[in-house]
Amino acid sequence: MTLSTPAATSANTPGGTLPATPDYDAWPVEVAIHNVSHTPHQVEVRWEDGRVSQYHSIWLRENAADDSTVNPATRERILDLSRLGAWPTVSEARLDDAGALEIVFAPEQCRLRFHPGWLRAHDYTHLAELDAPLPPATLWKGSERDAPTTLDARDWLDTDDDPLAPDACLESALEAVIGEGLVRLRNLPTEPGSLDAIARRIGPPRATNFGTLFDVRAKPDPDSNAYTSIALPPHVDLPTREYQPGLQLLHCLENDTVGGEAVMMDGFAVAEALRERHPEHFATLTRVRWCYANTARTTDHVWYAPMIKLDDDGNFDEVRIADFLRGPLMPPFEDVEPAYAALMALQRLLREPEFALRFTYTPGDLVIFDNRRLLHARDAFDVGQGGRRWLQGCYLERDEARSRLRMLRRAHRKQRVEVLGQG
């Protein structure tokens, strides 16, 4: 069966308004539905630009926006599909006068409407054509760039905290962190403790055994090599945790020392080079679980994990590289020599200059980087002549950056809805 009616491109038409969506987002109708057809288990939508989309009846029923499906106050689902009594099927599908998809579902005999902008944005029959929800990971080498992606952030704290307020600097910073793993902000305040407010533009800092904000400077009786003036090799922080922090922020308050140059490298690019040059070593480091230990005087954090973790699609998810935080390797007996051979191959790669991006901190600079991807290091610095190097740091989660960027993109969609006269 195929039904067609003139498609409306405005939410407010003589025939009515477009329905709600099962979320708090805004979904502009930039391409209207031309006609619809259906079988009991599928609905086919033909759009005005010629695209044909198909949706399963059970998927549509679960993603309706009525108050039998979601709590209108929270937009959280309350429908339990197993309580419907039978598989939801489509007994009628049509395009209504507002341009929405209207479906009658059996066995409930309930009539539900679906927003065309939301349907188009969630067209799972054309996944490759949908807008990417987040920037993809772009691997890089230090030899390919002169500096990190750098933004003027002097207005970073001038905000009314409206989560849907446009913010070009914040959006660019989050895109760089998610896509490249690293961004540098300049011209920020240098007052001690200002990092907390800076970080909260993205999300709440994560407390660890080093505190919520921690000072990175040479001090007597240090409980970490970071709190000395010695050089630090490339590493991630806190691989000793089951869930190592996703993001790290380092904020320069003072720096007039000799030396202490910062070093950053893309751990995913290093891992990819290992996969290309030594596939057997790469496979070993994705399989063998290493011990990571931070056994300080008052805490004892230990975790076991591979050095390189892939997601279900074979893409890089995280690296755990920190030689000074490795405890005794405890694998099956036959894995010991292959594991150390793979480790040394990786260590040799880390010394290759092409991977390292080097730069100097200036007071007011702040770097945000993916702590489960980027390796950071520093050269030794001299404090013997009265020079001072003071960074403050904190941790956030990847989830906070992703959520914040989605909110900024939601703001763009809301603006498009308003421009189109749909809201």
Same fold, 2-130 and 142-406: no
pLDDT at 6 over 60: no
Where in 120-279 does DSSP place strands (E)?
150-152, 182-186, 214-216, 232-235, 247-255, 258-259, 262-266
Instruction: Name the CATH architecture for the domain at 2-130.
Output: 2-Layer Sandwich (3.30)
pLDDT at 147 over 80: yes
pLDDT in tens, 28-77: 999 999 999 999 999 999 999 999 999 999 999 999 999 999 999 999 99
Question: What number of residues does the chain have?
Answer: 423
d(CA 207, CA 216): 15
pLDDT at 404 over 60: yes
Determine the average pLDDT of the residues in 210-226.
80
Determine the average pLDDT of the residues in 413-419.
92
pLDDT of residue 351: 96
d(CA 358, CA 378): 9
pLDDT of residue 112: 98
pLDDT at 4 over 60: no
Percent of the chain residues topping a pLDDT of 70:
94
For the beta carbon of residue 79, count every other beta carbon within 10 angstroms.
16
Mean pLDDT rounded to a whole number for the chain: 92
Model confidence band, residue 178 (pLDDT cutoffs 50, 70, 90): very high
pLDDT in tens, 275-285: 999 999 999 99
**Rounded-to-10 torsion of CA 196, 202, 207, 213:** -30
Question: Which of 224-233, 240-249, 340-349 has the lowest average pLDDT?
Answer: 224-233
Residue 221, judged by CB atoms within 10 A of its CB (0-12, 13-18, 19+), counts as exposed
pLDDT in tens, 317-362: 999 999 999 999 999 999 999 999 999 999 999 999 999 999 999 9
The secondary structure of 253-304, three-state, reads EEECCEECCEEEEEHHHHHHHHHHHCHHHHHHHHHCCEEEEEECCCCEEEEE
Higher pLDDT, 143 or 229: 143
Higher pLDDT, 343 or 8: 343
pLDDT of residue 337: 98
Percent of the chain residues topping a pLDDT of 90:
81
pLDDT in tens, 61-119: 999 999 999 999 999 999 999 999 899 999 999 999 999 999 999 999 999 999 999 99
User: Could you confirm whether domain 142-406 is CATH 3.60.130.10?
Assistant: yes
pLDDT of residue 247: 98
Model confidence band, residue 232 (pLDDT cutoffs 50, 70, 90): confident
3-class DSSP assignment, residue 340: helix
d(CA 304, CA 240): 8
Domain locations along the chain: 2-130, 142-406
Dihedral sign of CA atoms 168, 174, 180, 181 in order: positive
pLDDT of residue 370: 98
Determine the average pLDDT of the residues in 222-226.
69
pLDDT of residue 14: 39
